[in-house]
Amino acid sequence: MKLVVEKLDEAEEALDAARKEAQGEYEKAEVNSSSNVVRTGMWRVRVPVENLNAFRKAVLVEFPQRGQWAIGLVVGAPGPAIDRHLHGEMLTVFVPTAPNPTSGYTIIVRVAEIKELGISVDEALKFIVSLGVVTPGGARPHRPAALTSEDPRALPGG
């Protein structure tokens, strides 16, 4: 991955914090700090496979706007470079897109505005990939009364 940052020192601190959290070790680190040259750095970090569980829990967040809810995956705290601009306890949440959860949105949300789902990350991803057809716990999806009519005018706003 190539990353361009304005403040290399802050990026290096953030990388080191992530490495420590994942209990990883630097395999290789090179920083070019020649005069009259843009500073560059390259780091190779080894993290034990059992520590690669980046997504800690499945949650609900109001996204993309109030009144609409999306399943998100908690990544962790946004870090000091971002925290100092925000007020209150915040978490970084990845909101995957459906049906391809490898793309999505990284959002920073107040902890008070997050609803824990109590389901596994795997169950949340199955729900997303299936477009909501496969529900957590294997239960059949609830069919709201508005969807029982064959008449599209019966839908709210129809």
CA 40/CA 90 separation, integer angstroms? 30
Q: pLDDT per residue over 75-88, tens digit each? A: 888 988 898 899 89
85 with 30, same domain? no
103 shares its domain with 44? no
Element at 90 (helix H, strand E): strand 90-96
pLDDT score of 112 more than 90:
yes
Residue 138, pLDDT above cutoff 80: no
Do 109 and 90 touch, CB atoms closer than 8 A?
Answer: yes
Q: Pairing between strand 104-110 and 90-96?
A: antiparallel
Q: How many domains in the chain?
A: 2
Mark whether 75 and 14 lie in a shared domain. no
Same domain, 35 and 82: no
Domain assignment present for 85? yes
Assess if residue 44 is contained within a domain: yes
**158: pLDDT strictly greater than 60:** no
Residues of the chain by 3-state class (helix, strand, coil), percent to 5: 25, 30, 45
Assess whether 41 and 71 both reside in one domain. Answer: no
**pLDDT tier for residue 18 given thresholds of 50, 70 and 90:** confident
Same domain, 68 and 46: no
Assign 65 a pLDDT band (cuts: 50, 70, 90). Answer: very high
82 assigned to some structural domain: yes
Q: Is residue 15 part of a domain?
A: yes
- Rounded to a whole number, what is the distance in angstroms from the first to the last CA of the chain? 47
* pLDDT attached to residue 47: 74
Residue 151 lies in a domain: no
Cα distances (angstroms) measured from residue 122 to each of 46, 72, 84, 90, 131: 25, 12, 33, 24, 14
Give the residue numbers spanning the domain of 126.
Answer: 58-136
Residue 152 lies in a domain: no
pLDDT in tens, 29-57: 888 877 777 888 888 888 776 665 667 79
What whole-number distance in Å separates Cα of residue 72 and Cα of residue 55?
9
Q: How confident is the model at residue 6, as a pLDDT?
A: 78
